[in-house]
Amino acid sequence: MKSLSFDTTNVICGALLAATGAFFAYQSLNLDIGTALRMGPGYFPLVLSGILVLLGLIILVQAVRVQGEPIDPFAWRGMLFILPAPVFFGLTVRGLGFAPAIFLTAFIACFASSRMNVLFALVLSLLLTVFSVGVFSYALGLPFERFGPWVRF
């Protein structure tokens, strides 16, 4: 008789996806669903929630079919640098402007990796800033200030 083995990481991820989808599906039932031809405000969230539940169940089934690796210790360094980066961006984009806020946000997020050094972080942040300003400001023409009042002289 074969013992049951499963991939713990995928079981957790699949269960979280399925539970999140089920929660939002339940919430969307409070809205008018409508039909496929006359969609109500709850139709699209219900469909997306169903897809999320389906993907979660697929991951759960796959997790039972394979033996997984043990879960590594929690990545505190990543959490300390990745989570505050978008908060920093949101708090500073109006004052600093788009370009400096993107640069500093990318620079902060770079240090989530222990292998990152300051020179590579500066180069990577600069390239991301140039690309983002080129795409969002020039190519798409989005109306935002490239440099805000905090950095103007």
| Amino acid, res. 41 | P
What's the rounded Cα separation, in Å, for the pair 140 and 122? 25
Q: Residues near 32 by Cβ (< 8 Å), separated by ≥ 6?
A: 40, 41, 42
Q: Which segments of the chain are extended strands (E)? A: none
Nearest to 24 by CA among 43, 56, 49: 49
> What are the residue boundaries of the structural domains of the chain, listed by start?
8-65, 76-139
Dihedral, 86, 93, 106, 153 alpha carbons, nearest 10: -160
Q: Residues near 138 by Cβ (< 8 Å), separated by ≥ 6?
A: none
What's the whole-model pTM score?
A: 0.59
Question: Are 53 and 26 a contacting pair, CB within 8 Å?
Answer: no
pLDDT tens for the chain, 153 residues: list them: 555 677 788 889 999 999 999 999 999 999 999 988 888 999 999 999 999 999 999 999 988 877 666 666 777 888 899 999 999 999 999 999 999 999 999 999 999 988 899 999 999 999 999 999 999 999 999 998 999 999 986
